[in-house]
Amino acid sequence: MNGTYDDKPWIRTYPEWLAATPPESYATVLDKFKQAVESYPQHPCMYYFERAISFSETARLADSLSAALADMGFARGDRILFVLQNIPQVLVASVAVWKLGGTVVPVNPMYTAKDLDHLLSDSGARLILCEDLLYEKTVRAAAGDRTVITTSAHDFLGEEQPVPVQLTGGPKQVFAGTVDLMDLIRRFAGRHVEENPPGPEDLAYLVYTSGTTGPPKGAMISHANIDHNCFVYAATVRLDRSDVIWGVAPLFHITGIVAHQAIAFHLGIPVVLHNRFDAADALRLIEKHRVTFSVASITVYIALLNYPGLKSFNIAHFQKAYSGGAPVSPGTVRKFKEAMGLTIYNVYGLTESASPATITPLGMEGPVDKDSGALSVGLIIPGIEAWIVDVNDRGQRMPPGHEGELVLRGPSIVRGYWQKPEETASAIVDGRFHTGDVAKIDEQGWCYIVDRKKDLINVSGFKVWPRDVEDVLYQHPAVREAAVVGVPDSYRGETVKAFVSLSEPFKGQTTPEELMLFCKERLAAYKYPRIVEIIDEVPKTVTGKLLRRELRDR
């Protein structure tokens, strides 16, 4: 490392009201939940469709389940796999697990049996909690001799509430050889167990990275990591007891974990859950429960924008709308402002940074990079140090305004990957996490994400970052989604190919040639796509990240 690497970098242009000093010591997520129960026992902890579930009721359910888990032999340091959608059982079971000093391993319900088998083996999870609809489909084949607790998305519906249309699959199912969650809670109701609670540095979660650039690795998320970023969200978004969270990001993803569940516990405010995303349900519940805040992928916001009945809903109170997980173009932000009166604020983070690493403070407008046209993802969050280093030489720090790899250090950065010492040593050096994202930070401290290192396209020796091309494509009114990759080319080595999905009015009207010409007029000759393929849907992870690897494999 050269001598300048340790210098603290750029001045951050925080607004005057953001005098945010990180806490001197950190609490656990369980501590914050208990404080909320004590302070606001009858206030709603969550809304599940129409039903309100108070903090005291959540605590009572968690107490019973904790006693049941202890009776099964679950103890401090043990791991349990959650295979669940956004349902109340996630919050209840998380509290129960932490009371015993355990660690939650939340995974994507869309994973195959092979995926689950790998994660069970890698994490060493002793128990599995899954939705009934997933048991025979995937979980049974992966479970082996582990105890499986099943639950239904119907279990926490209000008694008078009609079954929402998205809860398909019929009534609750119970399977031989499994244990029913609600039965456990009933059998152990009122029974108390001696707690063995975690400390701030203990693991709250093993969150497996999405695997867009390789096999998933378990990022070790501590309670302190989460507590720091709860402080960050509360300070930069100006969250308080008047806020209501829309819990649309998956609770198995770091965004949902921190920006939905943990923030609800941290501030003692409710989170609105509705299983899986449905635009009609979402708009109805945003209006009904007067949602004020969320962090969602841009694809979720686009679905709301395109919903035919949008204008019939009053969502004016939804003024703290943040988007992360995938690039947001300036043109997209303008569309929302014009059509919905909704300002979308950018936030950027990774599993390894426990959600936000940069954020646009509420009320501030992120600038647009004059070179690439990319919208800033915000300012480096309070309490975190950041550097931009040469992509090919980690010891060489880049000056303001120059592209390089983003490096982060601070209290929200994970200690490493579960049982992966080599991968940990490669990614985290002296506490500095090398993100793999190419970025630049300007003189005022605004950060711009250029691309992933592994997505770099080499055209006749010239560097092309896919984001540069995608941002131009998004300026065309017909483009709904765009993803750019490099494909082999016998003359140039690689050439630029764009996969594009079109907005409804333009389907069948806009041609690949038109889009190529549009880019050619706005990009350097080596950058514009020589190939454009129009597809129905650009493949993405459940959190909205573009799966460029899948497109390259085509």
What pLDDT, in 10s, does the model give residues 158-179? 777 788 877 866 778 899 999 9
Instruction: Report, as an integer, the average pLDDT of 414-435.
Output: 94
Instruction: Report, as an integer, the average pLDDT of 466-486.
Output: 88
CATH number of the domain to which 60 belongs: 3.40.50.12780
Count of all residues that appear for the chain in the document? 554
Of 209-213, 216-220, 266-270, the least confident? 209-213
Last residue of a domain, one of 441, 465, 486: 441
Quote the pLDDT of residue 310.
92
Q: Does residue 308 fall inside a structural domain?
A: yes
Q: Tell me if residue 12 falls in helix, strand or coil.
A: coil
Q: Tell me the one-letter amino acid at 136.
A: E
Of 75-89, 337-351, 438-452, the least confident? 438-452
| pLDDT over threshold 70, residue 8 | no
Of 63-72, 318-327, 406-415, 484-493, the least confident? 484-493
Quote the pLDDT of residue 114.
87
Quote the pLDDT of residue 448.
92
**Domain check: are 171 and 90 in the same one?**
yes
Residue of 99 and 325 predicted with greater confidence: 99
Biggest alpha carbon–alpha carbon distance for the chain:
73
Last residue of a domain, one of 409, 441, 473: 441
**Domain check: are 144 and 90 in the same one?**
yes
Q: Tell me if residue 147 falls in helix, strand or coil.
A: strand
Rounded to whole angstroms, the Cα distance separating 477 from 330 reads 13
Quote the pLDDT of residue 452.
63
Quote the pLDDT of residue 11.
63
How far CA 439 is from CA of 348, 457, 533, in Å, comes to 11, 16, 28
Q: Does residue 533 fall inside a structural domain?
A: yes
Q: Does residue 216 fall inside a structural domain?
A: yes
pLDDT band at 460 (very low <50, low <70, confident <90, very high): low
pLDDT above 70 as % of the chain: 93
Q: Does residue 10 fall inside a structural domain?
A: no
**Domain check: are 198 and 337 in the same one?**
yes
Quote the pLDDT of residue 107.
95
Q: Tell me if residue 485 falls in helix, strand or coil.
A: strand
Q: By residue range, what is the domain housing residue 52?
A: 30-441
Residue-wise pLDDT for 81-122, tens only, equals 999 999 999 999 999 999 999 999 999 898 889 889 999 999
Helix locations, 407-525, DSSP H: 421-427, 466-473, 512-520
**Domain check: are 211 and 120 in the same one?**
yes
CATH number of the domain to which 486 belongs: 3.30.300.30
Quote the pLDDT of residue 3.
39
Residue-wise pLDDT for 226-269, tens only, equals 999 999 999 999 999 999 999 999 999 999 999 999 999 999 99
Quote the pLDDT of residue 490.
64
| pLDDT over threshold 70, residue 327 | no
Helix locations, 276-360, DSSP H: 279-288, 298-305, 330-340
Q: Does residue 448 fall inside a structural domain?
A: no
Of 50-54, 72-76, 157-161, 175-179, the least confident? 157-161
Quote the pLDDT of residue 169.
64
> Could you tell me which of 134, 139, 439, 385 has the C-alpha nearest to residue 276?
134
Quote the pLDDT of residue 179.
97
CB 257 within 8 A of CB 60: no
Residue of 211 and 370 predicted with greater confidence: 370
**Domain check: are 436 and 512 in the same one?**
no
Quote the pLDDT of residue 537.
87
Quote the pLDDT of residue 210.
62
Q: How many domains does the chain have?
A: 2
Quote the pLDDT of residue 2.
42
Q: Does residue 542 fall inside a structural domain?
A: yes
**Domain check: are 367 and 495 in the same one?**
no
**Domain check: are 221 and 98 in the same one?**
yes
**Domain check: are 118 and 75 in the same one?**
yes
**Domain check: are 492 and 468 in the same one?**
yes
**CA dihedral sign, ordered 74, 77, 81, 82:** positive
| pLDDT over threshold 70, residue 78 | yes
Residue of 490 and 445 predicted with greater confidence: 445
Last residue of a domain, one of 414, 441, 468: 441
CB 313 within 8 A of CB 291: no
- Exposed, middle or buried by CB within 10 Å (0-12, 13-18, 19+), for 298? buried
Instruction: Report, as an integer, the average pLDDT of 46-52.
Output: 96
Please give the DSSP secondary-structure letter assigned to residue 374: P
Token reading at 65: 């389940």
Instruction: Report, as an integer, the average pLDDT of 405-424.
Output: 95
Q: Does residue 19 fall inside a structural domain?
A: no
Quote the pLDDT of residue 171.
76
| pLDDT over threshold 80, residue 509 | yes
CB 385 within 8 A of CB 410: yes
| pLDDT over threshold 90, residue 303 | no
**Domain check: are 436 and 476 in the same one?**
no
Q: Does residue 483 fall inside a structural domain?
A: yes
pLDDT band at 1 (very low <50, low <70, confident <90, very high): very low
**Domain check: are 427 and 462 in the same one?**
no
Instruction: Report, as an integer, the average pLDDT of 31-49.
Output: 98
**Domain check: are 430 and 472 in the same one?**
no
Quote the pLDDT of residue 147.
97
Quote the pLDDT of residue 13.
80
